Amino acid sequence: MKKKIVNFLKVPGRQKILENLLSLGFVKVVTMLLPLIIIPHLIKTIGLELIGLLAIVTAICAYLNTVIDYGFAYTGTREVAKNNFNKVKNTQLLIDITTCKLFLSFLSFFLIFLTSFFVEFIEKNILLILLSLLNIVILSLCPSWFFQGLEDMKKIAIGEVIGKIISFLLIILIVKNESDIYLVPTFYLIGQIFSLTVYLFFLSNYIDLSQARITGFNNIYLKLNKDWNMFINILFPNFYNIYSYLILGFFGTLLHVGIYDVARKVLNVSEQVLGIISKVYFPVLAKNINKFQEFLKVMIVSSIALFILQYLFTLYGASYIFDNNLDSAKQLMYIQMLAPFIYALMISYGINYLGVLGEDKILRNITIITSIIGFIAVTVLTYFYMAVGALVGVMLTWFIRFVFCYLSSKDFLISKA
């Protein structure tokens, strides 16, 4: 076994991949475990209904997060990886993307203020939404994509973990009752500001401002137009994914949303783990697509491990979080045990194959079609089966998207063989 590991690491580039996996793995372990620890505390202090309220607010801001990020997490990473430590090009890219994000952030705040005059829920919860949106804006300005493109995941690990731990400690120590609900997004915001500060400190060694130019409105338009297809690829899945929270809140109660949100946070552990592998391999595949089969094997093995872990957690860990609502929660968790396999295949043949090859238009068309299907499926299934329907609708859409991506990738797989 030891010999196999040594031989595996002898292959050029694999040590760097392993190092990056461990760095991002550390980040995700922290970011996955802390919410699972926070959830029981919030259930006892503010209750499941207010957790449901926070989930709906977060869902609204998540839509805007998709707009602000605009797919730069992938297109920016891809360009940095291809620039190969060229400080001048990378600096200008960083300035262009940051300016675009600030412009989109301004539009997002304007949209929230505008809709608050027409939508009662937004008007009633405007402070919660603005605090959450400000947190999203600071998050979007953190240049994790930049270091991902440089394959320097240690910087991401340090930047992310410091902020998460600060937020965690503030919530655990200070949030005590329902009136403290506004402190939850506030403390997440404080932690995110610390993360951004750390990122800015690290950036000084990787940028050269001597030849940088200011990004004007024309440059913003050109950049947004260039990355439009990737933006659509990221935006449309949210019409069924994040939408599931909103439609469940419409058809059901905040309690339904609270249980669904906590169950999805458990599923999010699998999504985050697979997302780590996807992000670590993305710049590697951008340089050498022939490593795709190696990447796919890693994703499948990881899915099997996550399936086992979810099964064990459902049997032994769910009662620690849910108490009185255990039966409803367990039903969701048993259903979502298959989700890691579906999610892994979807992102492997989607963003990590078609996306890496620059086939953004093909991926865009697949995303639009499957998102419309998902929008309908989630709506209908949620109406009849509440939280179970919302979850099944999301997973069904993931599977349909995988099938479309796989069929579209077959021609490219044959040509690369």
Q: How far apart are alpha carbons 195 and 164 in whole angstroms?
A: 8
pLDDT at residue 318 is higher than 80: no
pLDDT at residue 337 is higher than 80: yes
Clarify whether residues 51 and 123 are in a common domain.
Answer: yes
Q: Does 308 reside within a domain?
A: yes
Q: Are 291 and 354 in contact (CB under 8 A)?
A: no
Q: How far apart are alpha carbons 357 and 408 in whole angstroms?
A: 12
pLDDT tens readout for residues 402-412: 999 999 887 66
Clarify whether residues 94 and 64 are in a common domain.
Answer: yes
Clarify whether residues 198 and 267 are in a common domain.
Answer: no
pLDDT tens readout for residues 260-313: 887 887 888 888 889 888 887 887 888 788 888 889 999 999 999 999 988 888
Clarify whether residues 273 and 351 are in a common domain.
Answer: yes
Q: Does 2 reside within a domain?
A: no
- Cβ neighbors of 60 (< 8 A, separation 6 or more) are 122, 129, 132, 246
pLDDT tens readout for residues 230-244: 788 777 776 677 788
Count the domains in the chain.
2
pLDDT at 262: 78
- The two tokens of residue 339 are 């989700």
Q: Does 4 reside within a domain?
A: no
Tell me the pTM: 0.73
- The amino acid at 228: W
Tell me the CB-side half-sphere exposure of residue 329, using CA atoms within 13 A.
26
pLDDT at residue 361 is higher than 60: yes
Picking from 209, 226, 243, the residue at the C-terminal end of a domain is 226
Clarify whether residues 39 and 15 are in a common domain.
Answer: yes
Clarify whether residues 45 and 98 are in a common domain.
Answer: yes
What average pLDDT score do residues 92-108 get?
92
- Cβ neighbors of 204 (< 8 A, separation 6 or more) are none
Clarify whether residues 246 and 312 are in a common domain.
Answer: yes
Q: Does 85 reside within a domain?
A: yes
pLDDT at 244: 87
pLDDT at residue 414 is higher than 50: no
Clarify whether residues 292 and 162 are in a common domain.
Answer: no
- The two tokens of residue 43 are 């259930």
pLDDT tens readout for residues 153-166: 778 778 888 888 89
pLDDT at residue 256 is higher than 80: yes
Q: Does 3 reside within a domain?
A: no
Q: Does 171 reside within a domain?
A: yes
Q: Does 119 reside within a domain?
A: yes
pLDDT at 305: 92
Q: Does 1 reside within a domain?
A: no
Provide the domain limits for residue 140: 9-226
Clarify whether residues 61 and 106 are in a common domain.
Answer: yes
Clarify whether residues 111 and 22 are in a common domain.
Answer: yes
Picking from 183, 204, 226, the residue at the C-terminal end of a domain is 226
- The amino acid at 261: D
What average pLDDT score do residues 32-53 get?
83
Could you write out the three-class secondary structure of the chain? Answer: CHHHHHHHHHCCCHHHHHHHHHHHHHHHHHHHHHHHHHHHHHHHHCHHHHHHHHHHHHHHHHHHHHHHHCCHHHHHHHHHHHHCCCHHHHHHHHHHHHHHHHHHHHHHHHHHHHHCCCCHHHHHCHHHHHHHHHHHHHHHHCCHHHHHHCCCHHHHHHHHHHHHHHHHHHHHHHCCCHHHHHHHHHHHHHHHHHHHHHHHHHHCCCCCHHHCCCCCHHHHHHHHHHCHHHHHHHHHHHHCCCHHHHHHHHHCCHHHHHHHHHHHHHHHHHHHHHHHHHHHHHHHHHHCHHHHHHHHHHHHHHHHHHHHHHHHHHHHCHHHHHHHHHHHHHHHHHHHHHHHHHHHHHHHHHHHHHCCCCCHHHHHHHHHHHHHHHHHHHHHHHHHHHHHHHHHHHHHHHHHHHHHHHHHHHHHHHHHC
Tokens 């024309």 label which residue? 218
Picking from 187, 206, 226, the residue at the C-terminal end of a domain is 226
pLDDT tens readout for residues 184-232: 999 999 999 999 998 888 888 887 777 778 878 888 888 888 888 878 8
Q: Are 299 and 277 in contact (CB under 8 A)?
A: yes
Mean pLDDT in the chain? 84
Long-range own/partner contacts, residues 372-377 (CB < 8 A, 24 or more apart): 372/239, 373/397, 373/400, 374/237, 374/239, 374/240, 374/241, 374/400, 375/239, 375/240, 375/243, 377/240
Clarify whether residues 219 and 334 are in a common domain.
Answer: no
Clarify whether residues 157 and 249 are in a common domain.
Answer: no
pLDDT at residue 94 is higher than 70: yes
